[in-house]
């Protein structure tokens, strides 16, 4: 068990970006009732934007992250306006099919534009790891965690402390009533999708330099985001945050103590187990019946 | 006409190998047929019970692996016990593969009862992904990413009758045509029976269905078992035709292909997956000449979105409606004539 | 529409010809968290009786209805039908006992024809065998033929046979309600629970529905009606149970209910004491 501290640190770092992914997806589901299959592609999009800005154009690393996040936001808003706006009253299966279509288009567009070969993004940070006692971690990963936590904090602030956040929460509770109260729910939907997309893009921009950027990177990300959201309960932001860290921890443990091949299976096992025993997620308050 | 038309279509496809000699196109038709079969199985769940199973490829892949392993034989160690299986004939493999996929259908059907809607969709995807990861990582059994090569082709006949082995495309073509016809008849009889009515009732209004005394669980599970078994058969046939399988068979895109076929053709119609299957089996062959695979997939995705926007019910219902509008008088007459006659018969029964 | 024979004697105390109650609601209470929807409710319905459960808006009628049909579990108390407690039974099991409800809003299958609707309702009357069906056996086909005849009988009983080929969702409102009843009848139910069946109906639709109710009652069906259309209820019921603020404030024949001061106050409010 001497490696446990290292595993915990590793999962904390992955957990931060997982939480970003999960919060984005859970916001979109909670407020818009849309199962966003393109979420993983927005993650991949963020990573490619990071590659474009930092890797190809050679812009400042931090500026590139900011640009990637903004690009994700713009793309998210565009998707909402083009594909989802007119289908707002459609059932969940319809929007799901639309998002699956969008996912296929986006992934193959990436492959067409960037090619199938994985790209790496240069990092400006020192290559020597940070060593504290038994734990060793690269500076880049520390930075990823810090930025992820900052973004999570900013999202919380946005949701809980701003007027926009208040309107989003109202729409989440009851969109009809919110509309009656004078909230422009159409704008809220666009904002929600843009925000969720920008968080996914942020996760991609952060993990892109840690790993490599490839067209299929979004697939697993999307499924992991689903796992996180289910773990935390659909529409529950705190649940998604905690869920992100739990998934990262479960993966780390699964990879070290079962087999590294099953790292990615942990998310799905979590989904199946949670849904079988606690279908409303781990952090759901008991609902009023009827 | 309505009764004969499907048989004319079958007759037409039965003649195809007689005049189509290009192996490439025959291969396309065989693979199209396999996906069509899988799409038909998906339609039973998606179209008739209304459950979107995005893990349908798991049934397909499990069928393929079970059948392949049955006919190849294997030797594994599980918890210290050594299990060795000697090769059995492919037909037994197909039977076992179908049964295994049907059992998985049972599990999915039971699951769908606990979780619905978005949750069900995600659970089914997860199920398929877990199966894929097992196929990838249980190297001792599945050879992992190195694939299972040398799967024997289907051999028809018994020791005492003499047998033929389907090495070529033509034999496989007819076997698959046979299974498509069989599956079509099974699904048709099912959905036009009280079983199918119960499934449609639960798709349309589950609460009302339950209050009418329909045991919803039972019919969902039944649909899932039959759906799984048909998809499993398709997988078995795939394995013995291609003769090599690897974990890529569980790719989510394969499920997506089935979904596209079903919604394009028209979910909840018998002909829908057949029409959709033909479109998405043949269009790529034409596209391939002009564009790369990425563009092809982009067009698929765009088409899927387009269908949802423009033809949400699919091609088959749209064409049917067009025909009805083209010949309204004939349809109307037939409908009017049928109703009272049955009514009279019923009248005799009533007091 | 010709008035069917009716043995309901309106306005007089219902003669207690029938024996035991078939549907018994014993000390039922329903709480939602801190909210008490029903505090204590007991009444019963005898076989062949047409009882109405009425009350002002928010009195707890719908909750009562959901408890009786087994869609909600009561916090306390129990509901029995033909001596079988309904607690914990699944909806299809309740139906199997012969107790069937109709719904206020989604009472029919919209996208299939009226005839197919009724065929679906007849589901419980069939015991199709899977292999027989898949093999297309003669016995299954004959069973299907018989079922179709039965479906016509039900349609005629309710009086919507002319619309057999129309889609359920395309029927006018009143006819949808009739189809809802047809669905319930098709299950072979001996007792029907109707949830505000005439709300939103126009006068002629209501009249047609009342005629159907009388007809059903004459055919020996037990009926529990949850309704707030007072004149309709007064005209058709053997007995009326009045619910207000989650408790029963009156239980008796229409004539008695009409003059009950508690009921008058519940409906007209406290402001009209000197009315």
> Within 13 Å of residue B316, how many CA atoms lie on the same side as its CB?
20
Residue C193 backbone zone (phi > 0: left; psi -120 to 50: alpha; other: beta): beta
Alpha-carbon distance of B205 to B187, in angstroms, equals: 21
Enumerate residues 6+ apart whose C-beta is below 8 A from C30. Answer: C36, C37, C38, C60, C63, C64, C67, C72, C74, C75, C246
Q: Using N-to-C axis directions, what is the helix angle for A265-277 and A237-257, rounded to 10°?
A: 130
Alpha-carbon distance of A230 to A137, in angstroms, equals: 30
Q: How many helices (H) and strands (E) does chain C have?
A: 10, 10
Render the burial of C247-268: b for 16+ CB within 10 Å, e for the rest: bbbbbbbbeebeebeebebbee
Query: Cβ distance B164 to C86 under 8 Å?
Result: no
Angle at B14 between CA B11 and CA B19, to 5 degrees: 115
Alpha-carbon distance of C225 to C53, in angstroms, equals: 6
Q: Do C128 and B194 count as a contact with CB atoms less than 8 A apart?
A: yes
Q: Name beta bridge partners: C239.
A: C51
Alpha-carbon distance of B174 to B14, in angstroms, equals: 7
Which of B263, B298, B309 lies closest to A108 in CB terms? B298
The closest of B287, B232, B242 to B31, measured between CA atoms, is B242
Cβ of residue B200 closer than 8 Å to a chain C Cβ: yes
Q: Which residue of B has its CA nearest to C100?
A: B211
Looking at residue A83, its pLDDT comes to: 92
Alpha-carbon distance of A38 to A106, in angstroms, equals: 8
Average pLDDT across each block of 10 residues of chain B; the chain has 351 residues. List them in order. 81 85 87 94 93 91 94 82 83 93 91 75 85 87 85 76 74 92 93 90 88 86 94 95 91 89 91 92 84 87 90 88 72 42 36 33
Q: How far is CA B142 from the centre of its chain?
A: 24
| 3-state secondary structure at position C187 | coil
What are chain A's partners, defined as 3 or more CB pairs within 8 angstroms?
A: B, C
Q: What is the pLDDT of residues A9-59, one digit of tens each?
A: 889 989 999 999 999 999 998 888 888 999 999 999 999 999 999 988 988
| 3-state secondary structure at position C46 | strand
Q: How far from A130 is each of A134, A148, A161, C244, CA to CA, in Å?
A: 11, 19, 36, 71
Residue A93, both tokens: 């299966």
pTM for this structure? 0.83
Show which of residues 53-72 on chain C sit within 8 Å of chain A, judged by CB atoms: 63, 66, 72
Looking at residue C9, its pLDDT comes to: 39
Alpha-carbon distance of B39 to B258, in angstroms, equals: 5
How many residues does this entry show for chain A? 290
Looking at residue B20, its pLDDT comes to: 83
Residue A24, both tokens: 């984005």
The pLDDT profile of chain A, 290 residues, written as one tens digit per residue, is: 568 888 888 899 899 999 999 999 999 988 888 889 999 999 999 999 999 999 889 889 999 999 999 999 999 999 999 999 888 888 888 888 899 999 999 999 999 999 888 888 888 887 788 888 788 888 888 899 999 999 999 999 998 888 888 888 888 888 888 888 888 888 999 999 999 999 999 999 999 888 889 988 888 888 889 888 888 887 888 999 999 999 999 888 888 887 777 787 888 888 778 877 776 666 655 433 32
Enumerate residues 6+ apart whose C-beta is below 8 A from C170. Answer: none
Alpha-carbon distance of B266 to A214, in angstroms, equals: 35
Angle at B200 between CA C119 and CA C191, to 5 degrees: 45
Alpha-carbon distance of A12 to C81, in angstroms, equals: 57
B&C contacts, CB < 8 Å: 111
Q: How far is CA B280 from the centre of its chain?
A: 14
DSSP-derived pairing of the beta strands A135-137 and A130-132 = antiparallel
DSSP track, C191-217: EEEEESTTTT--HHHHHHHHHHHHHHH
Which of C33, C66, C72 lies closest to A288 in CB terms? C33
Looking at residue B213, its pLDDT comes to: 85
Count of CB atoms within 10 A of residue A41's CB? 33
Looking at residue C271, its pLDDT comes to: 46
Q: Which residues of chain C are modeled with pLDDT < 50?
A: 1-16, 271-275
Alpha-carbon distance of B328 to B325, in angstroms, equals: 5
Query: Cβ distance C150 to C101 under 8 Å?
Result: no
Looking at residue A40, its pLDDT comes to: 94
Q: Name beta bridge partners: C25.
A: C43, C79
Looking at residue C83, its pLDDT comes to: 86
Q: How far from B150 is each of B69, B250, C79, CA to CA, in Å?
A: 11, 19, 65
Residues of chain B with C-beta less than 8 angstroms from the C-beta of C128: 193-195
Alpha-carbon distance of C238 to A256, in angstroms, equals: 74
Q: Do C72 and A288 count as a contact with CB atoms less than 8 A apart?
A: no
Which of A92, A219, A226 lies closest to B252 in CB terms? A219
ipTM (interface pTM): 0.85
């Amino acid at each position: 068990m001497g490696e446990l501290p290292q595993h915990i640190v590793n999962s904390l770092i992955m957990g931060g970006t997982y939480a970003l992914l999960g919060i984005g997806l859970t916001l979109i589901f909670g407020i818009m009732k849309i199962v966003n299959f393109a979420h993983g592609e927005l993650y991949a999009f963020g990573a490619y934007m990071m590659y474009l800005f930092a890797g190809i154009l050679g812009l400042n690393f931090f500026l590139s992250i900011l640009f990637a996040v903004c690009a994700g936001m713009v793309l998210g808003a565009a998707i909402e306006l083009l594909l989802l706006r007119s289908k707002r009253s459609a059932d969940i299966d319809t929007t799901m099919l639309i998002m699956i279509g969008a996912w296929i288009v986006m992934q193959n567009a990436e492959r067409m534009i960037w090619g199938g070969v994985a790209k790496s993004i240069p990092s400006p940070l020192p290559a020597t790891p940070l060593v504290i006692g038994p734990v060793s971690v690269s500076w880049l990963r520390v930075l990823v965690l810090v930025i992820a936590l900052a973004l999570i904090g900013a999202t919380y602030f946005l949701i809980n402390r701003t007027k926009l956040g208040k309107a989003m929460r109202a729409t989440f509770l009851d969109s009809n009533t919110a509309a009656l109260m004078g909230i422009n729910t159409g704008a809220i939907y666009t904002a929600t999708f843009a925000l969720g997309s920008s968080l996914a893009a942020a996760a991609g921009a952060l993990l892109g330099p840690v790993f490599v950027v490839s067209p299929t990177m979004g697939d697993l990300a999307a499924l992991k985001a689903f796992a996180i959201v289910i773990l935390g309960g659909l529409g529950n932001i705190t649940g998604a945050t905690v869920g992100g860290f739990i998934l990262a921890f479960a993966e780390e443990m699964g990879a070290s103590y079962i087999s590294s091949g099953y790292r990615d299976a942990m998310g799905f096992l979590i989904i199946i187990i949670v849904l079988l025993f606690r279908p409303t997620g781990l952090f759901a308050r008991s609902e009023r019946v009827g | 006409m309505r009764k004969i038309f499907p048989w004319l279509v079958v007759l037409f496809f039965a003649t195809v190998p007689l005049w189509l000699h290009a192996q490439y196109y025959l291969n396309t038709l065989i693979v199209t047929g396999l996906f069509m079969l899988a799409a038909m199985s998906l339609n039973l769940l998606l179209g008739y019970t209304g459950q979107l199973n995005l893990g349908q490829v798991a049934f397909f892949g499990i069928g393929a692996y079970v059948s392949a392993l049955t006919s190849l034989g294997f030797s594994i160690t599980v918890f210290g016990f050594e299990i060795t299986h000697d090769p059995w004939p492919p037909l037994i493999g197909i039977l076992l593969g179908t049964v295994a996929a049907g059992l998985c259908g049972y599990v999915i059907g039971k699951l769908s009862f606990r979780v619905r809607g978005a949750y069900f969709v995600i659970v089914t995807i997860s199920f398929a992904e877990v199966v894929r990861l097992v196929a990838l990582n249980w190297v001792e059994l599945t050879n992992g990413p190195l694939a299972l090569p040398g799967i024997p082709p289907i051999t028809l006949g018994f020791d005492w009758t003499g047998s033929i082995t389907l090495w070529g495309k033509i034999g496989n073509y007819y076997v698959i045509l046979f299974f498509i016809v069989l599956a079509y008849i099974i699904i048709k009889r099912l959905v036009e029976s009280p079983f199918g009515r119960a499934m449609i009732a639960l798709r349309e209004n589950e609460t009302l269905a339950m209050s009418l005394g329909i045991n919803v669980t039972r019919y969902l599970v039944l649909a899932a078992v039959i759906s799984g078994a048909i998809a499993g058969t398709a997988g078995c046939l795939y394995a013995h035709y291609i003769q090599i399988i690897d974990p890529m068979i569980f790719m989510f895109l394969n499920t997506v292909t089935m979904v596209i076929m079903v919604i394009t053709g028209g979910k909840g119609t018998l002909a829908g997956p057949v029409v959709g299957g033909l479109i998405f089996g043949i269009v790529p062959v034409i596209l391939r000449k002009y564009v790369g695979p990425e563009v092809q997939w982009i067009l698929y995705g765009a088409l899927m979105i387009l269908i949802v926007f423009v033809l949400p019910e699919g091609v088959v219902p749209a064409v049917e409606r067009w025909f009805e509008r083209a010949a309204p008088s004939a349809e109307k007459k037939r409908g009017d004539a049928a109703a009272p006659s049955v009514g009279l018969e019923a009248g005799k029964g009533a007091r | 529409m010709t008035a069917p024979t009716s043995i309901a004697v309106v306005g007089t105390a219902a003669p207690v010809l029938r024996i035991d109650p078939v549907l018994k609601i014993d000390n039922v209470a329903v709480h939602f968290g801190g909210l008490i929807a029903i505090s204590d409710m007991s009444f019963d319905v005898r076989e062949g009786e047409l009882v109405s459960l009425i009350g002002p808006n928010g009195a707890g009628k719908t909750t009562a209805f959901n408890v009786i049909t087994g869609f909600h579990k009561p916090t306390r108390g129990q509901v029995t039908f033909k001596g079988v407690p309904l607690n914990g039974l699944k909806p299809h099991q309740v139906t199997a006992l012969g107790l069937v409800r109709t719904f206020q809003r989604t009472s029919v299958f919209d996208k299939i024809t009226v005839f197919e609707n009724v065929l679906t309702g007849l589901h419980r009357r069939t015991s199709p065998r899977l292999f027989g069906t898949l093999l297309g056996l003669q016995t299954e086909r004959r069973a299907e033929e018989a079922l179709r005849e039965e479906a016509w009988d039900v349609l005629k009983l309710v009086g919507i046979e002319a619309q057999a080929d129309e889609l359920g969702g395309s029927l006018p409102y009143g006819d949808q309600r009739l189809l809802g009843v047809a669905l319930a009848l098709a299950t072979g139910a001996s007792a029907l629970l109707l949830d505000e069946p005439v709300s939103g109906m126009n006068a002629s639709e209501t009249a047609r529905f009342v005629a159907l109710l009388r007809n059903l009652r004459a055919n020996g069906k037990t009926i529990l009606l949850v309704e707030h259309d007072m004149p309709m209820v007064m005209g058709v019921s053997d007995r009326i149970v009045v619910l207000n603020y989650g408790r029963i404030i009156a239980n008796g024949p229409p004539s008695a209910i009409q003059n009950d001061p508690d009921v008058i106050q519940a409906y007209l409010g406290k402001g009209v004491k000197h009315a």
